[in-house]
Amino acid sequence: MDGSSCSEWRGTLSPARPVSSPRGASPPGNAIETPPGARHHPPVPTSSSLPRAASGPRAVFRIRDFTFLQIAKSLATLGFFMEVTTVGYQVYSLTRQQLNLGLVGLAYFLPAVLLALATGYVADRFDRRRVAQICQAGSLLVAGALAWISHQAGGAVPPHAAFLGILGAVFLSGAVHAFYGPAIQALLPSLVPREQLSNAITWNSALWQGMAIAGPALGGLSLARFGPGGTYLIEMIFYGAAIVCMGFIRRRPGPVPGGTTGASWDRLVAGLRFIRSRPVLLGAISMDLFAVLLGGATALLPVFAQDILRVDERGFGLLRASPAIGAGLMSIAIAHRPPMRHAGRSMMLAVALFGVATVAFGLSRSFALSVVCLVTLGACDMISVVVRQTLVQAMTPDAMRGRVSAVNLVFIGASNELGEFESGTLAHWIGTVPTVVAGGLGTLAVVGLWAWLFPDLRRFGSLDTAHHTPQPGRDSEVAP
């Protein structure tokens, strides 16, 4: 589950990713031939072509390009989480309609699906640093548009018209981040030596998680002090600083060899076929998808803050940051413990507790208890994320990893943003509290059903034993 993030972004993002975990491996750093008249790209730098650096937990920050990348990425991530927090609160304040909160989630999600083929192709074909910079500039313009709409909403523009303007800006933001995610993820391995890549990924994930906590909290404080328009202007400052920092990265990664052949649905379908042929992978990814799709409550947090818990913008910011706080604390705990010995059972238990925490949050009328429930929800989410992401990386051969990861990212986005759409739509018809409680109970039902449908996942042991095992008759079906 990636409920504490918007697809790294979403997340998101890992995701996201998870949203929150990098994927893939860097290709050989050889120059590629370009046709006459085509723009020449320099050889692709990779971790193996970079000079060795000193060891140590923070030694990777001695690499100038990596440091500027993390500063730029952190600033942009901070701005994005402020945007998500502000948009949700503002939309509900303007319209008082839960359905509109669901439409916001749908507007963030649709571009990622519609542009799924193009985004990966652009990240492989063009200078990823430049692509990321252009996307950050696009985010800056979107924040400016949101600030202008907010200013107009305080005058003669009716709330419904302002909402439509916000929805259009959110759709553009989703399109920008659909291109930004693959480019920024793929840029990291080309900036650090191979022996420091694991440490770089750890810091990359930790900084992203920190921004997932700071962004909503800062967004809530800014909302209380400056209102939506002022908050969007602050986001513009963050995006502008991110663009400048990206400009200080000296390396210019060119196109990936083999990445100019174009996009194809066959490549995406191959990833789906591979996942379907591995019951453990299919069970882990699909359980996470349906659990968050049913149990996600973050889209309705503006309703809880304003109508149920009766807290101000600062309280809303804390509610929005609470799942990320729980995820961050759990990630620290997992990092200091040996690999899970019963990963499948641990994942199912975590998803079940996710459902219980969701039900408790829906029934709570105490702000403190609600925060505890959301922190617990985020912590359980992180356990599921660790198991799922480890299985995806360990059980997938190198030749299939990009396609399988792409499918995984789409599933993450579907669970997060479509979950928000489902929550907002259902809350419009049956009410906010019944929607959240029913979602939590639905998550518990998913765990029970998946334990029966996927016994291999339920019995799966230590994550250390996860590895790719060729399966005759199956691998041939999913071969590139």
DSSP state of 190: G
Closest CA to 304 of 362, 358, 354: 362
Residue 40 belongs to a domain: no
User: Above 90 in pLDDT, residue 84?
Assistant: yes
Residue 16 belongs to a domain: no
Overall domain count for the chain: 1
Burial of 372 per CB tally in 10 Å (0-12, 13-18, 19+): middle
Mean pLDDT score of the chain, rounded to an integer?
Answer: 79
Residue 320 belongs to a domain: yes
pLDDT tens string 355-390: 999 999 999 999 999 999 999 999 998 888 888 877
Tokens standing for 94? 């303007």
Residue 29 belongs to a domain: no
Q: How far is CA 445 from CA 278, 361, 411, 452, 469, in A?
A: 23, 18, 20, 11, 31
How many CA atoms, within 13 angstroms, populate the side-chain half-sphere of residue 359?
13
- Mean pLDDT for 323-352 is 83
User: Above 70 in pLDDT, residue 465?
Assistant: no
Residue 153 belongs to a domain: yes
Range of the domain at 155: 58-478
CATH code, domain carrying 188: 1.20.1250.20
Residue 31 belongs to a domain: no
Sign of CA dihedral 417, 200, 282, 465: negative
For residues 454 and 38, the model is more confident at 454
For residues 25 and 111, the model is more confident at 111
How many CA atoms, within 13 angstroms, populate the side-chain half-sphere of residue 153?
22
pLDDT band at 408 (very low <50, low <70, confident <90, very high): confident
Residue 326 belongs to a domain: yes
Number of residues in the chain: 480
Residues 48/52/54/56 CA torsion (nearest 10 deg): 10
pLDDT band at 1 (very low <50, low <70, confident <90, very high): low
User: Above 80 in pLDDT, residue 270?
Assistant: no
Residue 28 belongs to a domain: no
pLDDT band at 275 (very low <50, low <70, confident <90, very high): confident
Burial of 203 per CB tally in 10 Å (0-12, 13-18, 19+): middle
- Mean pLDDT for 268-277 is 78
